[in-house]
Structure 1
Amino acid sequence: MRALLVVNPAATTTSARTRDVLIHALASEMKLEAVTTEYRGHAHDLGRRAAESGNVDLVVALGGDGTVNEVVNGLLHGGPDPDRLPDLAVVPGGSTNVFARALGLPNDAVEATGALLDALREERTRTVSLGLASGTPGTEDESVPSRWFTFCAGLGFDASVIGRVEQQRERGKRSTHALYLRQVVRQFLGETNRRHG
């Protein structure tokens, strides 16, 4: 089996030592190429390259929900085609790991890697439904690029909060529960002031 491990070095709960252990464990079971993301959107580019190459059987995303989302959107860049796309596996390394938890994976990266290796040995796979969010043709949002999502998509208040969090992360802030909470409060107060202003 040929596999690509996409590693987000900024994943909040994964250390360099943990990454090395995971790489060693996965490489012992398959022909593995491990690539560390270097820029925003790199996981997307790696997923796309894996899908287009036709020589990768499995893509493993080591990171949080954002890394998983980027990889999924890269894999599906040319559209969904289960016969030509590599399988996807997730090893949680972010702060919340909602998708990995929804799949029933342990939140510990080492334990999740063990579960992944067990599933590969037993040839167990799982089909996951996806959604596609896109702009509405003929409206001002039609220029918004379509985006696949694995477990949820938001609009309105929650999308604005995520937008605020992403702006803070671009400025070097770490993704923490406190960061999300601060942005929820700021978004709420900002919307309240606009309604009363």
Structure 2
Amino acid sequence: MRALLVVNPKATTTTERSRDVLVRALRSEVSLTVEYTRRRGHAATLARAAAEDGVDVVAILGGDGSVNEVVNGLLTSKPALAVRDAPTAHVLPAVAVVPGGSTNVFARALRLPKDWAEGTSVILDGLRDERYRVIGLGRADERYFTFTAGLGLDAAVVRRVEQARLRGRTSSPGLYLNAFLGQLLAGDRRNPPLAVETPDEVAETDLSMVVVQNTAPWTYIGDRAVDPNPGASFESGLDVFAVRRLTVPATTRTVTQLLTTGTANGPQILRLHDRAEFTVRSARPQAFQVDGDYLGEREKVHFLSVPDALRVIC
């Protein structure tokens, strides 16, 4: 069995020792090639080449951003494009994730251990037993995502966090909370620009934030799951959690509910469950994020559920 290990050397919770232990462990089971990412997008290039070279497994030591790049590399490889309108899981390498980021939402949604050493053990057992889970993905225009995408407030918060990290700040729940409060105070709460358009249904308009989930939970604040759509699943379509006008009382209530119970309810909330496709439009450019990475501003994004897209060792 041939495997590629993609390592993000800047992942926040990895060390040289953990990388060395993982490499030795994997080499005891497979013929292993190790590649270190050097720039944004490099993991996608490595994964695409691995799929086209017939590699059996692509392992990732990194956070959600590294996972997203690898997934997009696999799903845009020649084997995947050759069966674009059919399930791609069994024509692509299986994916193995060793959590190395600060949040690791995708790995935790798969119920993988948070500790890298325990995660390595799960992968080794999965390789020996050929134990895989087939999951669906989401697609936002041509970008695939594993657990979430969003436009509006949540994506603007991601943008603020990325800017803070570039200035040397460490990713933490406090950093995200400060970014949220700062964006809420700075944003235009009076004229919600977003609308969700679904086939054969009346559009939902006047939305300030649209979060799309491919699984549950949406994210984590420390050890607490934030789970506005607990019915979201890798085995079903996409779920939507949207917030209407961001008045101070309504926003305070929503945030309090999310922080204390993990979910939120009320007239300001819109939910859609198990949707195959829909479009989000905006009256003006809005921040856009995929799997926690800020991707600029958009005025229109088409979302599509992609069933049976990937095999994951877990």
TM-score (norm 2): 0.55
Give the letter aligned to residue 114 of structure 2: N
171-180 vs 16-25, which moves further: 171-180
Determine if contact 2:7/2:62 at 8 Å carries over to the other structure.
yes
Give the letter aligned to residue 182 of structure 1: N
Say which of 171, 181, 186 aligns to 1:185.
Answer: 181
State the match for 1:59 in structure 2: 58
- List aligned pairs for 1:1-197, cutoff 5 A: 1-53=1-53, 55-78=54-77, 79=81, 81-134=88-141, 146-191=142-187
Shift of 1:82: 3.0
Give the letter aligned to residue 59 of structure 1: V
Give the letter aligned to residue 25 of structure 1: A
Q: Give the Cα separation in 1 of the matches to 2:33 and 2:172.
A: 30
108-117 vs 186-195, which moves further: 186-195
Q: Give the Cα separation in 1 of the matches to 2:151 and 2:55.
A: 34
Shift of 1:176: 2.8
Instruction: Rate the CA distance shift 1:167–1:49 in 2: closer, same or farther, 3 A.
Output: farther
23-32 vs 170-179, which moves further: 170-179
Determine if contact 2:157/2:176 at 8 Å carries over to the other structure.
yes
Question: Does the residue aligned with 1:129 lie in a helix, a strand or coil?
Answer: strand
Q: Give the Cα separation in 2 of the matches to 1:70 and 1:172.
A: 23
Instruction: Rate the CA distance shift 1:149–1:100 in 2: closer, same or farther, 3 A.
Output: same
Q: Give the Cα separation in 2 of the matches to 1:168 and 1:188.
A: 16
Determine if contact 2:6/2:35 at 8 Å carries over to the other structure.
yes
Q: Give the Cα separation in 2 of the matches to 1:169 and 1:128.
A: 31
Q: Give the Cα separation in 2 of the matches to 1:82 and 1:133.
A: 19
Determine if contact 2:5/2:61 at 8 Å carries over to the other structure.
yes
Shift of 1:112: 0.5
Q: Give the Cα separation in 2 of the matches to 1:119 and 1:89.
A: 9
**Cα offsets for 1:91-120 (capped at 9, x unmatched):** 101111111111111000110010111111
TM-score (norm 1): 0.86
Structure 2: give runs of 5+ residues left out of the alignment: 192-314
User: Relative contact order (alpha carbons < 8 A, sep ≥ 6): 1 or 2 greater?
Assistant: 2
Q: Give the Cα separation in 2 of the matches to 1:62 and 1:150.
A: 16
Shift of 1:193: 7.8
Q: Give the Cα separation in 1 of the matches to 2:169 and 2:2.
A: 35
Q: Give the Cα separation in 2 of the matches to 1:175 and 1:33.
A: 30
Higher helix share: 1
Instruction: Rate the CA distance shift 1:174–1:46 in 2: closer, same or farther, 3 A.
Output: farther
Q: Give the Cα separation in 2 of the matches to 1:92 and 1:118.
A: 16
Question: Does the residue aligned with 1:182 lie in a helix, a strand or coil?
Answer: helix
Structure 1: give runs of 5+ residues left out of the alignment: 135-145
Higher strand share: 2
Q: Give the Cα separation in 1 of the matches to 2:59 and 2:16.
A: 17
